[in-house]
Structure 1
Amino acid sequence: MSLIPCNKPPQSMWTFAHARIAPPLSGRRVPEALTGDLVAENRFYGTTMPADIPQEQLRTLEPGQWLTADLCSFYCNEVGNVYLEGAPGRAKDLVVLHSRTWDLAHWTGGSPSKVRCQGATHVLEHNDLLYDLNPDGPIRTVVLILNSLDPLKPYDPEQKVQNILLRLAEGRPLREEKLHEINVYQPLMPQQPNYCDCGLYPGFFLSVFLEAPEVYTAHCLGTALIDGPIDKVWYHDRIKSSRTWLKTLVLTSAEIRQAALDFNTDLPPPIVM
């Protein structure tokens, strides 16, 4: 899920402090990790929970396998980070949230209690819905729902988005009476040919969107047209290589994690139960 905030003056880049890297619980090296061992991790610049990849999830990177929520978010986080690293001054133009954040829409007891890193810029600092940041100005926040799994639209998406924002506020004064003014758009998307690649679509289409955010926002809002059929507009044929790209990304992250562990020789070994 991504939130596209209102237009604001450019901000300087900001980031977060990583928690100290920890060895796999089994005591093995990352390449020989066992079930339950963390092998890779990726988080968007400071705003949300990390995408943690344990060893047993690596098999789902193969063709025909369902991707997990963490692998889906791993892809989205990397796309968002690459965009921000290549666009200085646009640090508040994008918020990438872990896919499990959608659970907040249903107010379930099992929903995540923390959706941001301690000390990081608050998610809602990126839009105009907080009283202390925008007490009486216009609401220009836009939410895009890119749905390639089912031609049917999610039921009552506006209310779901409002529920998510109320949870993300974490007690801060929110302009609740203005939440109905948020624009929630669901542009026409190509439908995937199978149901095991759905985890690839959010990150893939986010990468396409961020190639030209202003152009694609206008297209999604219906204020401008992009010539060509839907598949052409969204480069649907390129999705075929996305699973290979994600697999390479995760395995590279695992290699870097092991290299970091080798470098930090003062790290205590885990206690093997």
Structure 2
Amino acid sequence: MYWTFTHSRLAPPLSGNRIQDAVTGDLVAELRFYGTTMPADIPHEQLRNLEPGQWLTADLCSFYCYEVGNAYLEGAPGRWKDLVVLHSRTWDLRHWTAGAPQRVRVPGALQVLEHKYVAFPGNDTDSHFFLCIIIFPRDLLYDLNPNGTVRTMALILNSLQDMQPRNPERKIRDILRRLADGRQLREPELQDINVYLPMMPQQPNMYDCGLYPGHFLSVFLSAPETYIAHCTGKASIDGPLDIVWKHERVKAARDRLKSLVLASSEIRQAALDFNTDIPSPCAM
């Protein structure tokens, strides 16, 4: 016996003070970045993780990054060629794709490494999130750049300096090989890739780390070239670290993320209501 089912109706009001009582059903919200296959699925039980003092889940952290990336794409025509944002599971790509990296992007979408920036949250210990941004990965693709300059590098933006990922250079090389999806990379240049771990604003507690990847990504995307130069030490931005990275805004990040999830819930319910052909749950 197996079950086919639809999701339970979301119960209004979604804007109530007690978020955990605002929605019924298993899956209450989902979001993906343009062209990606892995959604950030938010089940009902994760809503409590949006409350103050709670650790965010991998899907909530990815949801925030997706929303930042989608907003960036909507800001100007042609930006879809610049950026791809992936789920936090990308850090362990070989596990969740089961050896099939083509599952990362939908058919017809621009291949991951052809973008200027590939961003995703990482989690090396199952307890702490950071942001990884791979810069100019397309330079490593042999078919696009057989003998030109290779500018490829990676930034790891971390809100807990004492919890850095282990051997990040090897990890980034492994991720790039898998994201290449069988296309030839310039292996000598890949071996020499630089991974920068710049000083970043530090979180004042142990539970807010899931908010920082989305926040750091939003600041980075406000002026990518400027922040690349700053993170690599080529042209520092003047001012205190917290001002440079707009650290004060993190205080409102949890409430913003909560609003985004609830808005997505309402949109999703409207879509389910519109599709009157969805069958009722039944046992087979």
Residue 69 of structure 1 and its aligned partner are, at CA, apart by: 0.3
Residue 27 of structure 1 and its aligned partner are, at CA, apart by: 4.9
Corresponding residue for residue 215 of structure 2: 204
Corresponding residue for residue 245 of structure 1: 256
Query: What is the rounded CA distance, in whole Å, between the counterparts of 2:260 and 2:89 in structure 1?
Result: 21
Corresponding residue for residue 98 of structure 1: 87
Residue 155 of structure 1 and its aligned partner are, at CA, apart by: 2.6
Amino acid at match of 2:144: L
**Conserved? CA contact 1:146–1:202, under 8 Å:** yes
After superposition, the Cα gap between the structure-2 partners of 1:235 and 1:175, relative to the gap in structure 1 and judged at 3 Å, is same
Amino acid at match of 1:243: R
User: Residue 141 of structure 2: which of 116, 130, 133 is its match?
Assistant: 130
Corresponding residue for residue 5 of structure 1: none
User: Residue 182 of structure 2: which of 171, 177, 186 is its match?
Assistant: 171
**Conserved? CA contact 1:48–1:98, under 8 Å:** no
SS of the counterpart of 1:155?
A: coil
After superposition, the Cα gap between the structure-2 partners of 1:144 and 1:193, relative to the gap in structure 1 and judged at 3 Å, is same
Note the 1:123-272 alignment, pairs <5 A. Answer: 123-126=112-115, 127-271=138-282
1:33 aligns with 2:24: yes
SS of the counterpart of 2:66?
A: helix
Give the 4+ runs in structure 1 shifted more than 6 A.
Answer: none
Residue 95 of structure 1 and its aligned partner are, at CA, apart by: 2.0
Residue 139 of structure 1 and its aligned partner are, at CA, apart by: 1.1
Query: What is the root-mean-square deviation of aligned Cα atoms in Å?
Result: 2.0
Corresponding residue for residue 107 of structure 2: 118
Give % identity. Answer: 69
Aligned residue-pair number: 244
Q: Which runs of 5+ in 2 are unaligned?
A: 12-22, 116-137
SS of the counterpart of 1:165?
A: helix
Amino acid at match of 1:265: T
Residue 115 of structure 1 and its aligned partner are, at CA, apart by: 2.3
After superposition, the Cα gap between the structure-2 partners of 1:161 and 1:169, relative to the gap in structure 1 and judged at 3 Å, is same
Could you list the per-position Cα deviations for residues 36-92 of structure 1 after superposition, in whole angstroms to 9, with x for gaps in the alignment? x22111111113511111111111111111110010000001101101110222222
SS of the counterpart of 2:41?
A: strand
Query: What is the rounded CA distance, in whole Å, between the counterparts of 1:117 and 1:269 in structure 2?
Result: 28
Note the 1:40-51 alignment, pairs <5 A. Answer: 40-51=29-40
Q: RCO (CA 8 Å, sep 6+): is it higher in 1 or 2?
A: 1
Amino acid at match of 1:30: L
Query: What is the rounded CA distance, in whole Å, between the counterparts of 1:195 and 1:61 in structure 2?
Result: 15
Residue 26 of structure 1 and its aligned partner are, at CA, apart by: 6.1
After superposition, the Cα gap between the structure-2 partners of 1:271 and 1:129, relative to the gap in structure 1 and judged at 3 Å, is farther
SS of the counterpart of 1:60?
A: helix
Q: Which region of structure 1 is more displaced relative to structure 2, 227-236 or 64-73?
A: 227-236
Q: TM-score, normalised by structure 2?
A: 0.80
**Conserved? CA contact 2:159–2:201, under 8 Å:** yes
